[in-house]
Amino acid sequence: MKNGQIRKKGAVRFFEIFFGCFRDLIKLNLLFCCCAIPSAAAVIAGFFGFFTGYMYILALFAAFPIGGALSAYLFCLTKMLRDDPGYVRHDFKRKFLENYKQAAASGILSAAFVYVQIFMWVPLILGEEGMEFFLMVMGFIFLLLFGMVVPYVFLQIAYIDLKIPQIIKNSVIISFANAPRSLMGAVLGGAVWVAFIFFLPQSLLTLPLILIIGFSLSWLLCLMWIWPPIDKQFKIDATLNERMSS
């Protein structure tokens, strides 16, 4: 709460943050892109046949900072949700340096999963090859489960001092204990990327917007649903408010 006022909820709250923090959302988007573009560029080069095998390996090495960047990204976004003032670049840098080692493996594995999904779906969407119905269903299920669980991993890395195995266990439990919210977070957060992929190649025209605000829009939509469960589970907001007042 801010100055004793009750926070708004739902769509009103989303637009309040989106327009009220628009400049900071752009800054966060660009900071994350700086960390993720080297890996993505290597994958794109491999996809178009440039030193294919080497580029895919290089992409995974280049994904080393992605986990730290994601934990810092979600930390800054949840500060906005908590009405906690801060400086985006300072907060992002501080959290990245705190967490990049612990988050590295999770970031690399997450990037690898996303790349596999892209390689699986893009040719189908472009009409280059068919795919068995069973594989389509399994791919969709795994993508949905990924979207439901993984955000909790990076939120805990940002806020909770635990080992990765325990964080992953917590993430699975919290995700399924709050399945409706986790599902909505995955669906709405992923809607930006589903639309981008399904409207290829025309959607490439929106790539500048993706680089400017797309990731922030996606993660903010997701966090609107999944932040309350994890905040309730670990009492993050209340604990931080107590520290600030003491």
Span 74-105, pLDDT tens digits: 999 999 999 888 899 999 999 999 999 999 99
Separation CA 103–CA 218 (nearest Å): 20
CA angle, 92 as apex, 89 and 95 as ends, to 5°?
A: 145
pLDDT, averaged across the chain: 89
Mean pLDDT of 177-193: 95
Among candidate residues 135, 112, 102, the one with its CA nearest the CA of residue 39: 112
Residue with token string 């979600």: 74
102-138: burial string, b at 16+ Cβ within 10 Å, e else: bbbebbbbbbbebbebbeebeeeeeeeeeeeeeeeee
Confidence of residue 245 (pLDDT cuts 50, 70, 90): confident
Separation CA 236–CA 230 (nearest Å): 8
Confidence of residue 58 (pLDDT cuts 50, 70, 90): very high
Q: Is the pLDDT of residue 3 over 60?
A: no
Confidence of residue 129 (pLDDT cuts 50, 70, 90): low
> Would you state the pLDDT for residue 162?
93
Span 18-27, pLDDT tens digits: 999 999 999 9
Confidence of residue 246 (pLDDT cuts 50, 70, 90): low
Domain residue spans of the chain: 12-245
101-115, 217-231, 232-246, range with the lowest pLDDT: 232-246
In this structure, the number of other CB atoms found within 10 A of the CB of residue 15 comes to 11
Confidence of residue 214 (pLDDT cuts 50, 70, 90): very high
In the 8-state DSSP scheme, what is residue 2?
A: B
> Would you state the pLDDT for residue 166?
96
Distance of alpha carbon 100 from the chain centroid: 15
